[in-house]
Amino acid sequence: MNPSQLAALDILTPIQREYVIALRQELQDKDKTDVFGLNMTDLESPQTVKSCQPRQREMADEAIESSKNVVVLDEKGRVILVYRRNHLLDPVVRSAEAAIEKLLKNVNLKLPPDDDRRSNIDKQDLIKKYGDGRFGVLYCAYWMEQGNAANGPMICREMAKGSTRLGDYCRFVRDMKQTKERLSLLYAAADPLRWRQCINIFDALCYFKPDAQLLAASKIDPWTSLVLVANVPTDVHRDLNDARHMLSGIASSGTFPGSWLVIHSGGFKMRIKPEHGILLNTHILAHFVDSREPDDEKLEPDQAKEPRTEEFKSNEQELNSDEGYQAPDQYILSFFNHQKVQDWVRSQAQSGER
């Protein structure tokens, strides 16, 4: 690391700093990490990306999967993707699982209206598979509400619908602390300077908008917002409102017999498992989740190398029973920043300096 990168880590504890330095060395070790380059000068339009949706299964089958960690750089050498196997330790995985279950005891999930990222959803089929209120999309976000840009960023309306709802959502944010911190350290190792920029912007946001502190999980939190995608498919898309040059953190919880995060822009895929950690530039990279049912003949190419667990066998038994199939819960967690929020904070800071 150069001096400016080391200086960016000065908010970490000595143990965290030592871990991040060692992790950065691992991400630069060719024996442990595959490094790819992508030219992202010409980004795919939303229309082009949407036209690829009918070919998603074929695209997933054709995508390349690495057996190592993965780092992807753009044409300017900026990190736009990091994938690290077994990054989230068992206590972290269990804490995320417990946080989601606690949330769902008090909050019924809903499907978002008019969402191009989740088309052709059979609601009755999802009710049969998971139960009413256990599938949908939930936001704990600090962003620009549509139609209220003049007021600056604010807590999303979904969170603010009553004190009870706000309390449930804030507890969920707090309970995701271990997951966010672990992904934050991966971000610090991959791109120390932009990681620190995100943290500084979040700190400044809390100064200008004190209620933003409700979205902060720790002192090294680089993400102002969180989305939980529960038991619903995700079509290929780009998140056009997300920060253009920053990384989002992605984790998962639940049972994934055969699921991949597929990067359409690069033609490769990464296995989704609760223990794996992912950082992704969700603004520029078109991506989607490919999930296969346990009876799919193309379920998992390396299944012979990974013996079926008792949990997997149990899922097969449920599938073949006469009483119907209770699908395993599959949750995707994405921690992100909105570009307009970061622009607003920079503008406020510059105004203060003047």
Task: Specify whether domain 3-353 bears CATH 3.60.130.30.
Answer: yes
Q: Residue 325's pLDDT is what?
A: 61
What would the DSSP string read from start to end of 22-66? HHHHHHT-TTTEEEEE---SSPPPHHHHHHTGGGHHHHHHHSEE-
Q: Alpha helices of the chain — where are they, by DSSP H?
A: 3-8, 14-27, 46-51, 56-62, 90-106, 123-130, 163-175, 177-190, 192-208, 310-320, 339-353
- pLDDT tens, per residue, the chain with 354 residues: 899 999 999 999 999 999 999 999 999 999 999 999 999 999 999 999 999 999 999 999 999 999 999 999 999 999 999 999 999 999 999 999 999 999 999 999 998 877 778 877 889 999 999 999 999 999 999 999 877 777 899 999 999 888 899 999 999 999 999 999 999 999 999 999 999 999 999 999 999 999 999 999 999 999 999 999 999 989 999 999 999 999 999 999 999 988 999 998 889 999 999 999 999 999 999 999 998 876 554 444 444 344 444 443 444 444 334 345 678 899 999 999 999 999 999 999 998 754
pLDDT in tens, 56-82: 999 999 999 999 999 999 999 999 999
Domain segments of the chain as ranges: 3-353
Global pTM?
Answer: 0.90
- For residues 326 and 314, what is the distance between their CA atoms, to the nearest angstrom? 11
> Helices 177-190 and 192-208 meet at what angle, rounded to 10?
130
Q: Residue 295's pLDDT is what?
A: 57
Q: Residue 292's pLDDT is what?
A: 81
Q: Residue 324's pLDDT is what?
A: 54
